[in-house]
Structure 1
């Protein structure tokens, strides 16, 4: 392919070859239509990027390998993560590969970029596939990404009864551990984690089971600033605020309120009744009720003023 003669690749902005798209299927269709580069063109663009820092040349290299990222992303759909996110992370790996690619090494960019694309996708899966980090060491990561395929391989060569078992046998665990250079206990632990299902923190429905969603009993609001301030305010109102509100009443109103609401009889039945206070003050029970209502309103205003 002659660089100067190729009108498709002579556009100043290489990203203009990918139109503005609204969905993943349209994006995949578009990148699969982008032209591939010959080895000669690839080497020329790589040298221009390396020697001159030519970003247009970098764009050509990236565009011509976007279909590779799409192809690699399909291998990781079994982890339940959006393919669009997998492609996005793979594109980051592709750009890192293009930046570091040396055309003098005698290998094609597709071979060199494959490692970087997979590395970025692996990191994304480990960060997002489960809330708890699954793999930390290099051996554990290898176990994480190979356990499923190895299980399928073992099941395919087993008898019908063995192939229908969901769990690994002791011999299968030992074989996987030897092949991947990990401990059998690590294989068992990884298998347990991979087979465990995710639980939504938020309730999925509006029915009576909503209160059983984990968010209902895992959340701790005790340290939340507004909750702390509200608790302090309630404490202040229940002590100093109440004392000040009672001080705003005349002696008769204060005694009625205290006897009705702030005293406990020996039988734990609460304060005095309206009729008991009516007999004490020599008025009707209805009059005691009116004094009580007026006193409560006055106390409420006093507490609101001090809040």
Structure 2
């Protein structure tokens, strides 16, 4: 293992206890300031720590590698502030990517950790943005993800070109020629460019806007997006209806005589193969040799008796 005896004092402290370099932090600015003061590692130190981690699973060596590259995560995370997500969350996800890179880093491959870690940091931040940006999964394929993360910068490039040509730079949407250029450059369909631009340019809507300036309640999506079926009272009512429609109906039918029970079943509880209802009053009248009016009277009496039985069952 390479000797680190000649390292600067700050680096020697990082060797002994890397976490001692991190002070108590109260906010994001303090974290960024502390991370930027952490010492960088020389090539010799980096390879020494990496070999200790690889060969001996030395967690202190892993900590030294992570801490010395926190400023890299902060720098990369700033590139993604335009998506409206908290900077602290972007840094946190980038740190996850950094730790994955440290775990997989091989010092004998001839590259510095900073170059190797950039891919892992960006990949983790990309995944976080795609999962959380406006709570909508906007990209599924590799090409669509590339479109998502490049469309914004390409639009800025088009605006810069328009400004250089003294053309209109205030329009927010791409023209037909620019759409074709983006689609060709990123290897996606023209329709995908249009759809992605529409989603990226869509404004955010507050789920619950709260009281308006005049004190009245503002109307927001929360008013019509709430699922009332999951409300506890609605759940209890639904279970009660289900119980009455199964066990309750069966119990109520048992309270009827055989003829009344068959009339109710044929009229209300049976469905033909074609989706139509059961037997008519005249068909039942022919079966029992009575008038259709008599069948109706029996049916009404049976319904009253069942209603009473259901009330007692409930």
TM-score normalised by length of structure 1: 0.72
Note the C-alpha offset of 1:67.
0.5
| RMSD, matched Cα | 2.4
Note the C-alpha offset of 1:205.
2.2
Q: Does 1:119 align with 2:123?
A: yes
Give me the whole-angstrom Cα distance separating, in 2, the residues matched to 1:143 and 1:124: 16
Give me the whole-angstrom Cα distance separating, in 2, the residues matched to 1:69 and 1:14: 18
Q: Which residue of 1 aligns with 2:288?
A: none
Superposed counterparts of 1:282-297, under 5 Å: none
Superposed counterparts of 1:151-300, under 5 Å: 151-158=155-162, 159-205=165-211, 207-210=215-218, 212-229=219-236
User: What runs of 5+ residues in structure 2 fail to find an aligned partner?
Assistant: 242-313
Q: Which residue of 2 aligns with 1:106?
A: 110
Q: Does 1:145 align with 2:149?
A: yes
| Paired residues of 2:73 and 2:98 also in contact (CA < 8 A) | yes
Note the C-alpha offset of 1:14.
1.2
**What are the superposed Cα offsets for residues 37-57 of structure 1, whole Å, 9 maximum, x if unpaired?**
011111111111111111111
Note the C-alpha offset of 1:222.
2.3
Note the C-alpha offset of 1:213.
1.2
Q: Does 1:43 align with 2:47?
A: yes
Q: CA separation of 1:216/1:104 partners in 2, compared to 1, >3 Å: closer, same or farther?
A: same
Given the alignment, which residue of 72, 85, 96 partners 1:92? 96
User: What runs of 5+ residues in structure 1 fail to find an aligned partner?
Assistant: 235-306
Q: Does 1:24 align with 2:28?
A: yes
Give me the whole-angstrom Cα distance separating, in 2, the residues matched to 1:110 and 1:233: 63
Q: Which residue of 1 aligns with 2:264?
A: none
Give me the whole-angstrom Cα distance separating, in 2, the residues matched to 1:129 and 1:222: 28
Given the alignment, which residue of 8, 26, 30 partners 2:10? 8
**What are the superposed Cα offsets for residues 227-254 of structure 1, whole Å, 9 maximum, x if unpaired?**
23257789xxxxxxxxxxxxxxxxxxxx
| Paired residues of 2:11 and 2:41 also in contact (CA < 8 A) | no
Give me the whole-angstrom Cα distance separating, in 2, the residues matched to 1:23 and 1:56: 25
| Paired residues of 2:210 and 2:217 also in contact (CA < 8 A) | no
Q: CA separation of 1:106/1:232 partners in 2, compared to 1, >3 Å: closer, same or farther?
A: closer
Note the C-alpha offset of 1:10.
3.9
Given the alignment, which residue of 31, 34, 37 partners 1:33? 37
Give me the whole-angstrom Cα distance separating, in 1, the residues matched to 2:147 and 2:115: 23
Q: Which moved more, 1:125-134 or 1:198-207?
A: 198-207
- Pairs aligned (count): 238
Give me the whole-angstrom Cα distance separating, in 2, the residues matched to 1:231 and 1:36: 64
Give me the whole-angstrom Cα distance separating, in 2, the residues matched to 1:104 and 1:151: 41
SS state of the match for residue 4, structure 1? coil
